[in-house]
């Protein structure tokens, strides 16, 4: 019944729009959190200030998603291509998980949130990994919202690795060629065990996927917001979900 924990008659107080249909909440919401740098530049601040403000938005949106019974919230936090950025910016981004978790882990535990990481550990500094792994470990038995950080994640690499895994399994005789199917690939993706996203939101006005969950987004509803990520709030999440609820998902049928 976690779905309705703040709902009955309390939508207004929680800022949840009355029209939101509680029987049609996307199970998995994924967000490409973009625009931190432009948010900062517009204010004459260093890019790091934008990333810091973006962290506050993560908190707001996580609470909002949890309130309406979203089951998985995937947040694209650092891509395999983001290593191309200047060293000081990368260093700052690698500090944010620690900072976020130092502030929020207790509340996440209290809210029964389960933290998960999708992405490669290789290359991520020990101090960053330590914080994330501690959060994953301390929340592993939680049964509420799955807060999935896509960190050092890229979809092409993910699919390539899955293909390698399949080829190996065929070579070793563990799988026959005929047995290779969608499930064999999916079980080898970083997102194994998670449902595909129902809704993808990208902020900042960019209308592209930037190597995020290319396989998993096959039938996902896409919503692009012109807001920079640090300006994104619970009300914007609810608006996006209202739009999602107005869409007709056909999955190739009629």
Q: Is 82 a catalytic residue?
A: yes
Q: How far is the CB of 58 from ligand IPE (least distance, A)?
A: 11
Tell me which residue has its CB nearest to Mg ion.
34
d(CA 194, CA 147): 11
**Total Cβ atoms within 10 A of residue 83:** 12
Verify binding: residue 206, ligand IPE, rule CB under 6 A: yes
Catalytic choice (34, 66, 198, 234): 34
The backbone torsions φ and ψ at residue 10, rounded to the nearest 5 degrees and listed phi first, read -120, 10
Which residue in the set 16, 25, 29, 32 belongs to the binding site for ligand IPE (CB under 6 A)?
32
d(CA 97, CA 103): 10
Nearest to 92 by CA among 154, 50, 33, 149: 50
Verify binding: residue 225, ligand IPE, rule CB under 6 A: no
Verify binding: residue 36, ligand IPE, rule CB under 6 A: yes
Which residue in the set 204, 216, 220, 225 belongs to the binding site for ligand IPE (CB under 6 A)?
204
Kindly indicate which of the ranges 13-21, 36-44, 58-66, 164-172 contains the residues binding ligand IPE, using the contact rule CB under 6 A.
36-44
d(CA 251, CA 222): 14
Tell me which residue has its CB nearest to ligand IPE.
37
Helix, strand, coil percent content, the chain, rounded in steps of 5? 45, 15, 45
Catalytic choice (82, 112, 142, 211): 82
Q: What is the DSSP letter of 92?
A: H
Verify binding: residue 34, Mg ion, rule CB under 5 A: yes
Verify binding: residue 33, ligand IPE, rule CB under 6 A: yes
Q: Which residues pair with 78 in a beta bridge?
A: 151
Whether residue 215 contacts residue 189, with contact meaning beta carbons closer than 8 Å, is answered with: yes
Report the site for ligand IPE in 38-67 (rule: CB under 6 A): 38
Catalytic residues: 34, 82
Which residues contact ligand IPE (rule: CB under 6 A)? 32-38, 76-79, 82, 93, 204, 206, 208, 210
Which residues contact Mg ion (rule: CB under 5 A)? 34
């Amino acid at each position: 019944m976690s779905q309705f924990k703040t709902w009955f008659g309390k939508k207004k107080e929680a800022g949840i729009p009355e029209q939101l249909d509680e029987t049609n909440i996307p199970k998995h919401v994924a967000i490409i959190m973009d625009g931190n740098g432009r948010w900062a530049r517009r204010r004459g601040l260093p890019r790091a200030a934008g990333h810091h403000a973006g962290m506050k938005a993560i908190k707001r949106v996580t609470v909002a998603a949890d309130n309406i019974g979203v089951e998985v919230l995937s947040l694209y936090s650092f891509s395999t291509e983001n290593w191309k950025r200047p060293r000081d910016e990368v260093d700052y981004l690698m500090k944010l998980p620690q900072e976020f978790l130092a502030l929020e882990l207790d509340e996440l535990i209290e809210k029964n949130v389960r933290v998960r990481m999708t992405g490669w550990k290789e290359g991520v500094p020990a101090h960053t990994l330590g914080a994330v792994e501690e959060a994953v470990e301390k929340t592993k038995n939680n049964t509420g919202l799955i807060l999935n950080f896509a960190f050092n994640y890229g979809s092409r690499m993910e699919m390539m690795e899955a293909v390698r895994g399949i080829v190996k399994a065929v070579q070793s005789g563990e799988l026959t060629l005929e047995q290779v199917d969608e499930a064999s690939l999916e079980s080898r993706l970083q997102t194994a065990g998670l449902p595909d996203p129902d809704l993808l939101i990208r902020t900042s006005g960019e209308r592209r996927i930037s190597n995020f969950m290319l396989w998993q987004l096959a039938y996902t509803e896409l919503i692009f917001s012109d807001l920079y990520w640090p300006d994104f709030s619970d009300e914007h999440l609810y608006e996006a979900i209202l739009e999602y609820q107005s869409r007709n998902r056909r999955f190739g049928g009629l």
